Structure 1
């Protein structure tokens, strides 16, 4: 498991320290403060390669660089299958690369990274954990399997053939075989979709055009139509890709472990950026718990660590029933400006977990720092009204104009009306 990350002069903050929890780690904060960057760092500490270094087709996952030419370091600690390792990497300016520990790296288990643009990466101890020592050991294995968004669907080519057939070909092949892989894929799709009529269920294979000879997987939607997966909504494609990639990673890991005569991984680390991306609120309420359950059910004996970034108050509200401060943590990225400072700085703080009760309360919490869970115009009008209620000399005409403005912004059942009407009638603003 990844235990800690300590950055100096790398990323948005001059210094960043995180002591990660063993099960669930949630990252919140505004855009541009370094959540995705930290996930890239986490991937590198576990695999020693940046995603875009393995697959240049990616537009994300680039190598981290020092801030403003300063001396920089990435220190980390992790517990692998057989041992624990702590290391501080420095940036070598001559080589334009980060130093890495000498010798065989720690085996962190199965590492999966789902990026927000649809890219996926996996480091598999059965297929990637190997370093050539002699000519009898065969060719080097890939450093990792890193997929661009298109390669997730169409397949990942390698130097000597296809490393992965891709979602479309694998799904159709598994469905024809009706074996364990298709059973697992169907179960994962079911687990990641909401209850009721919106369950993701595989439909009949089809062809979509004369120019495409592939058997195309479909989803059987509640209105009675089998829709080709490439025509599904963005939210459904996000879930489909997650379900496929988890199934493919575990399927290939189990087969590779058998070929090598070794046990399957006893640790799984899952990094996921903007876990709610493209998802309807019904799906957002389930995604964290569902992913934890899916991965735990796939690998019953493995410990699972999930590190996820989110902008969704509904995601935070959804994990309140399962959050355990003994094995989970919440980190908030924020802009702060101390007295006497000219500029804001980025601060990452591990927050005490306090149940807010609902998504609206999370919006005005430290996670999102909003003044209210309303429109900007409604918030401004309510602030004006609050000042008016405190001012016994407030002008009547202004009060009546404010009353009309509030009526265009608030619902008829808004609790604010009780206070407003009580004071307004008392002062003669409202008759």
Structure 2
């Protein structure tokens, strides 16, 4: 598991220092402050691979750029300095070079669920120096490397598992898909494969939904993401067990899961259950598996969904902030907010009100008018009681809780005048 990560002169801030929780690490904050970047670095630290571009060091500083990590409980300290006599960053090659290899040290299966719809897998039992990177097409239709098939793909494996006498992986896939459904009345069950095209001779898996049976290739983007996630979990664990059997070694018992924007493509009903469901699903693979999750999110519903299960002894919440011209990353004390409105107006999201900007300004003008404040700080169309009232009528629903206070105060001032 990843214990610590220390970055100096790499990324959007001069320095990041993070001590990770053993189970769940949630990262939130505005766009562009480094959430995805942090997952990319964590992926490289754990696997020695970059998914796309490497993290480039800052060039406008005299500080020595570094990536320092501590992995597992053995307090390994792996130092990756840049611009030093060891030449760990090769400017000609434009890549980082390790001073210590993780080839024989890594004891973790690492899964990266990327925001672009792709997935990456690192399994030391299969390849100790290489990660498998899937885009949506290769995840569904298969991946080959150097002429060898490393993954048959979701469509072929699903049908093969469903038709083989030993249905263990298929039963596990069915269970995982069912667990990831948003709620009992929006269930997802596995259907029978069927041919759906004259151009594609394969039988295509299907799913049964409350409104009928559909081939998975015709599912929505959000549902495809969930089906891909379910398949990746089952496939990764199944193939890890097979590889461990061939190598005559015990399967590993640790999975590190990186998820960028876990709410991507998902309806609010799904956002409200996805992370707790994933934690449950990993336990379905093997009750002895230990999981560490690093997840980024912009969703107040995702945070609200964690209130029943958040454990301060094994979970942490982090916030990226822009303070002036400086990006900071700090652990935030976990405080239950009760609902999404509470989360939206908490320090995590920092909204004054969970409304449109126009409605927020109208209410601020109304409150200033009720306090007899100077109204010149507001736009000309929000400086008198009739103007404000007209704007509130346009923006607020009739049942809005602000109305009684506004109407009573306006009547009192009118009577007093």
The answer, yes or no, to whether TM exceeds 0.5 is: yes
Determine whether 1:416 maps to 2:399. Answer: no
Q: Deviation string for 1:368-412 (max 9, x for gaps)?
A: 122211111111111111111111898999212211211121121
Distance 1:366 1:263 in 2: 45
Aligned pair in 2 of structure 1 residues 184, 393: CA closer, same or farther (>3 Å)?
A: closer
Deviation at 1:196, TM superposition (A): 2.1
Distance 1:242 1:248 in 2: 10
Determine whether 1:48 maps to 2:48. Answer: yes
**Would you say the 8 A contact 2:186–2:210 is kept in 1?**
yes
Deviation at 1:297, TM superposition (A): 2.2
Q: Secondary structure at the match of 1:263?
A: coil
In the other structure, the counterpart of 1:426 is 412
Gaps of 5+ in 1: 53-61, 130-141, 338-343
In the other structure, the counterpart of 1:202 is 190
For residues 31-430 of structure 1, what are the structure 2 equivalents within 5 Å? 31-52=31-52, 62-68=53-59, 70=61, 71-79=64-72, 83-91=74-82, 92=89, 93-103=91-101, 104-129=103-128, 143-177=130-164, 179-224=167-212, 226-337=213-324, 344-391=325-372, 398-428=384-414
Q: Secondary structure at the match of 1:368?
A: coil
Aligned pair in 2 of structure 1 residues 393, 114: CA closer, same or farther (>3 Å)?
A: closer
Deviation at 1:321, TM superposition (A): 1.1
**Would you say the 8 A contact 2:362–2:382 is kept in 1?**
no
Distance 1:122 1:102 in 2: 21
Q: Give the paired residue count.
A: 401
TM-score by length of 1: 0.89
Distance 1:214 1:368 in 2: 47
Q: CA RMSD in A?
A: 2.1
Distance 1:216 1:260 in 2: 33
Aligned pair in 2 of structure 1 residues 335, 392: CA closer, same or farther (>3 Å)?
A: closer
In the other structure, the counterpart of 1:24 is 24
In the other structure, the counterpart of 2:86 is none
Distance 1:74 1:396 in 2: 52
**Would you say the 8 A contact 1:253–1:264 is kept in 2?**
yes
Deviation at 1:99, TM superposition (A): 2.6
Aligned pair in 2 of structure 1 residues 428, 302: CA closer, same or farther (>3 Å)?
A: same
Q: Secondary structure at the match of 2:71?
A: strand
**Would you say the 8 A contact 2:78–2:100 is kept in 1?**
no
**Would you say the 8 A contact 1:85–1:106 is kept in 2?**
no
Q: Secondary structure at the match of 1:51?
A: coil
Distance 2:409 2:171 in 1: 64
Deviation at 1:94, TM superposition (A): 4.4
Distance 2:21 2:116 in 1: 26
Q: Secondary structure at the match of 1:101?
A: coil
TM-score by length of 2: 0.92
Q: Secondary structure at the match of 1:67?
A: coil
Please say which of residues 362-371 and 33-42 is displaced more in the overlay.
362-371
**Would you say the 8 A contact 1:112–1:270 is kept in 2?**
yes
Deviation at 1:170, TM superposition (A): 1.1
Q: Secondary structure at the match of 1:174?
A: helix
Q: Secondary structure at the match of 1:253?
A: helix
Q: Secondary structure at the match of 2:186?
A: coil
Q: Secondary structure at the match of 2:68?
A: strand
Aligned pair in 2 of structure 1 residues 181, 388: CA closer, same or farther (>3 Å)?
A: same
Deviation at 1:95, TM superposition (A): 4.1
**Would you say the 8 A contact 1:110–1:123 is kept in 2?**
yes
Q: Deviation string for 1:272-306 (max 9, x for gaps)?
A: 00001111111111111110111122121121101
In the other structure, the counterpart of 1:341 is none
Distance 2:79 2:198 in 1: 56
Please say which of residues 298-307 and 324-333 is displaced more in the overlay.
298-307
Gaps of 5+ in 2: 83-88, 376-380
Please say which of residues 396-405 and 372-381 is displaced more in the overlay.
396-405
**Would you say the 8 A contact 2:57–2:65 is kept in 1?**
yes
Distance 2:60 2:244 in 1: 44
Distance 1:402 1:313 in 2: 30
